[in-house]
Structures are given as C-alpha cells and as structure tokens.
Structure 1
Amino acid sequence: MAIPIVTHTNVNWRRNAPTPERPLTMSGRDLQADESLLPHSHPWGQVTYALQGVMRVTANNSSWIVPPLRAIWIAPNVEHAITVLEPTLLRPLFVHAERAPFAGALCQVLEVSNLLRELIVALEQHDPDEPSTRVTLLGELILDELSRSATRPIRVPLPEDKRLKALCAALIAEPGADHTLKEWAARVGASERTLARLFERELGMGFGQWRQQVRLAHAAPMIARGTPLLLVAQELGYTSQSAFSAMFKKTFGCSPSAFFDYQ
C-alpha cells in the first residue's frame, strides 16, 4: 500500500513566513496516519510541534519520534521531513532567523512546558492574517519560553551506507527485535566486523547503544499515551520493566515516570 504524500505547499506556508516585525508565526495542518510531508527547507527556523498525535521528524541525518510533550527545533535552511505515525494536529511555529532561540544548525529536542502549550493554543485562536497587539505579545512570550525550554538527548542518527541503512530501517520499524549483530549481518549481506566498524564510523556509537536510542525514541509516545511501563518494556524487547527502567535511568539520570511526568 502506497504511503500518502502531502506535498509542501510553498504558497500557503510562505504566506505565514515570519518577518522582523512579526518574528513568530504559526501554521496548522491536521494529518492522518501514514501521511508524509516531503523533504523541504526554508529560510526561517521551525519548532515542529503537534497538539495531538505522534510523528517522526527526519533532519540532519537523524530521526526523532515526537509526542505532544516534545517538540523539535529545526534551524533555518535545514532540510527536514515529517512522517505521521498517528493522526496528528500539526502546529509548527515559524521563527525569523534573527530571533532563533538556539544557535547553530543542530536540531534540538524540546520539552514543551504547560505554559508553552497554553501559549500555542492561545495563538491558534487568532486569525494569522489579522495581526494584533495580542498576537504580537503572544509571539514574544512564546519566543521567551522557547529559549528557556529544557532540551533532551533523544536522537537517532541515520547512516549513509546502504547495508547499514537496511539494518537501521528494520530496527526503527521493529525496535523490539532482539537479533544479534551477527544475525543482522547475515540479513543485510555484510560481515559482523564490517557492520560494527560502520556503526562507529557513521553513527559514532556501537550497535547496542544505537538500538537503545531507537527504543528510547519509541518509548516516548507510548508512555505519553499512558501505556503501562511493563507493556512498554515488553514491546521494546526488554526482559522486564525493571530492566527497561534501569537502562532509562542510566541514560537520563531519572526514571521514565519522572522524565515524562507520567504519574
């Protein structure tokens, strides 16, 4: 079955382009599962955020799975694409390059505070074609809150080598798979040693660490939906909830419940 594609409509999105006088604007689009926004870029920065739903964002040879309590900052002129994993209320914020809340071209995973979410909801109530003092003030408050947002180290780097691409795509699609690197090597037509070398060279980490990052990325939307941690652990290939929680705490310094404000 072909994946529905939503082309990037420059006319509509450029109409909402930010300016020095109006440095933050918002666009809105409701997307169904398996829809995709094709790779594109623009001269302004973007906070990719959804009020509801889960999406996968790809940029800078990396991939992120984004639930409503997270957002992705994408710097100006960085090419990016979006794949919708669940029906999503996409509400990206466009930020003028001169007011970018983060320096450099690296993408950032942002924790969306309650205040930031409510500011975005308030901004959505206004007609984008009718700027007002209130819209200006909301925009400035959002920019200030963005600059204060906590960032999270949830990132899944993506490779260039076609053999490694095949392995990584399969694991992203099925993160709970427990095949060893040797078993994957047989599947993709490369030796175990070659794959191990490619992981270090192209992704900067070993196979086990990369697989952990994939599993953490998939855990985010599951926990955000209220899935019990035991089921999350089982779905992602861990032998127990405690094993999953221990890995999570080792990576982030706190339990999954504390990280996602789950309880």
Structure 2
Amino acid sequence: MAQGWKDPHDYDDVPRPIVATGNDYPPSFELGVHSHGRGQLLYAASGVVVVSTPHGSWIAPPERAVWTPAGISHSVRMVGAVSTRALLLDQAASRALGDESLVIGVSALMRSLLVAACEIEPDYDDAGRDGLVMALLLAELERAPRLTLGAPFPATPALARKCHAFLEKPEPHDTIDGWCADLGIGRRAFTRAFRRETGMSFGAWRQQACLVVALPQLAAGEPVTSVALNLGYDSPAAFSTMFKRRLGIPPNRYGK
C-alpha cells in the first residue's frame, strides 16, 4: 500500500454520517478490486484517478470527483503522483449522490471543504463547528453538477464484452452497423438496448470511452498529437474538436 495509507473500512462503524480521509500515492499506483461499507466520493487534489467497476469506468480529472456507492467492487488507478481527499458517507447521507457510480463537478467551495474535512477527527462533534462543515459539504454534494465523464457498461454480456474491448483499443470510427454485424443483431434492437442499458446513445458512449482513455494519457504528459493518433483519430484537429465539445476546453489546455 501507499505510505501512510488509511483503510476506509476503519470508518465503517463511526457513528457519523460523513467522515473524511486523505491519502498520498506514488505515480501509477493501483488499488486492486475492493469495496467499502460506506459510499465513497474520491477527489484528486493532484493527479488523476480512474475508477473501474463491473458497470463501467469513471475518471476524475482536476475539479472532478468520482462517486462509488457502498458495496460496489471497484479498482482505482492513479495517474501521476496523486493526493486524494475522500468522503465516506453512510446510507442516509449517500442519498445525496444516489446508488449509481458517477462523476460530479467540484466547486472552489467544495474543494476547500474537502481539505478542511480531512483535518476533522472521525468522532467530531456533530452539533459543533465540525458538524457544520460536514453538513455544508452534504448540501454542496446535493447541488453539485453531475457530469458525463465515464463509460458505463451494458448489462447484456455480449454488448459488455464489445465495450470492454473498445476501452482496450478505442476505434473512434466504429459504427453501429459494424457492431451490429459483429453481434448478429438488428440496428433497431441494438440502439434500443444500448441506450436502455447505458443511458446514452452509441455515439455519445464512444466519445466518452475515448475520453476515459485519453485523459490519463494527457495528464501523464503525452502530446496531444500522440494521444489523438493512438486513439485512431485521423488528425489531432478532429480529436481536439471532440475534446473541446465534451469538456469545454481544448486538450492542449487540459490540466493547466
């Protein structure tokens, strides 16, 4: 484990709705498959984290955080040297974020609250100043924007296998017709099933999956041109257009 690592399981029985912990990890550190008794919101104060579950992969670049509900098996990959701030929520507090993995936006206020929360003892006075910090954090979680920075996997095994293979080797020019031919399924049945099981269209999912692969590479310092070509884009310009449309900034400004 990373030096000084704090086990989230140590906080399962703390009689407080929210507890916070921080950990520092060396570059490329990986936490193997595990789960928590509490829901976990994971924020990288520095670096990038990629959280993978049986249901998909979610990424938290700067100013983002990944929510993983209690009991969900997941692994975490660190990109660069990562300093995390984690909130561990009991069942009642977890209602603020729901029962599915997702990515939220982290405001300047929430970022400050996360830092402050990690300095608060787990058995804090719920009726005092520390309790007010945690209550404000919960209010911020409830209003935080939900972001599409993940690639959920379908429940249908054959579809899920195709999605897993795509993340291993993204092909931005893959088409619905091509996947239908590989799977032996009609176009209408495919599009209905894909949207029903992932919550998004095939085209939107394909772009999200490319981002899940691209963001860690960019965070690690890979040139935009290399990332674009490695992903199979015809040109860096085509990749940059997609990136800016999805995230609001061009890739050459990512992380700056």
TM-score scaled by length of structure 2: 0.71
Kindly provide the amino acid, as one letter, of the partner of residue 124 in structure 2. P
Write the distance in 2 (CA, Å) between the matches of 1:244 and 1:195: 30
SS in 2 for 1:72: strand
Determine if contact 1:65/1:218 at 8 Å carries over to the other structure. Answer: no
Structure-2 residue corresponding to 1:256: 249
Greater shift in the superposed pair: 81-90 or 229-238:
229-238
Structure-2 residue corresponding to 1:55: 49
Q: Structure 1 pair 207/123, CA: closer, same or farther in 2 (3 Å)?
A: closer
Kindly provide the amino acid, as one letter, of the partner of residue 22 in structure 2. G
Q: Structure 1 pair 64/229, CA: closer, same or farther in 2 (3 Å)?
A: same
> Would you say 1:90 and 2:80 are equivalent positions?
no
SS in 2 for 1:50: strand
Determine if contact 2:148/2:208 at 8 Å carries over to the other structure. Answer: no
Q: Structure 1 pair 248/257, CA: closer, same or farther in 2 (3 Å)?
A: closer
Instruction: Work out the number of aligned pairs and report it.
Output: 243
**1:20-76 residue CA offsets vs partner (Å, 9 max, x unmatched):** 6x321013333442522323242x32212222232321346121122242112233x
Structure-2 residue corresponding to 1:154: 149
Q: Structure 1 pair 60/84, CA: closer, same or farther in 2 (3 Å)?
A: closer
Kindly provide the amino acid, as one letter, of the partner of residue 55 in structure 2. N
Q: CA deviation at 1:208?
A: 4.8
Q: Structure 1 pair 195/234, CA: closer, same or farther in 2 (3 Å)?
A: farther
Q: Structure 1 pair 31/225, CA: closer, same or farther in 2 (3 Å)?
A: closer
- Higher fraction of strand: 2
Write the distance in 1 (CA, Å) between the matches of 2:152 and 2:106: 22
Structure-2 residue corresponding to 1:23: 17
Kindly provide the amino acid, as one letter, of the partner of residue 106 in structure 2. V
Q: CA deviation at 1:93?
A: 0.4
After superposition, where does 1:135-174 map in structure 2 within 5 Å?
Answer: 135-159=130-154, 164-174=159-169
TM-score scaled by length of structure 1: 0.70
After superposition, where does 1:70-219 map in structure 2 within 5 Å?
Answer: 70-75=64-69, 77-86=70-79, 87-100=81-94, 102=96, 104-126=98-120, 128-129=121-122, 131=124, 133-159=128-154, 164-175=159-170, 177=171, 180=174, 192-194=182-184, 200=191, 201=193, 203-204=197-198, 208-219=203-214
**1:159-178 residue CA offsets vs partner (Å, 9 max, x unmatched):** 45665555433432333x46
> Would you say 1:40 and 2:35 are equivalent positions?
yes
% identity of equivalent residues:
30
Q: CA deviation at 1:79?
A: 0.9
- Unpaired runs of 5+ residues, structure 1, are none
Q: CA deviation at 1:149?
A: 1.3
- Unpaired runs of 5+ residues, structure 2, are none
Q: CA deviation at 1:151?
A: 1.3
Determine if contact 2:224/2:236 at 8 Å carries over to the other structure. Answer: yes
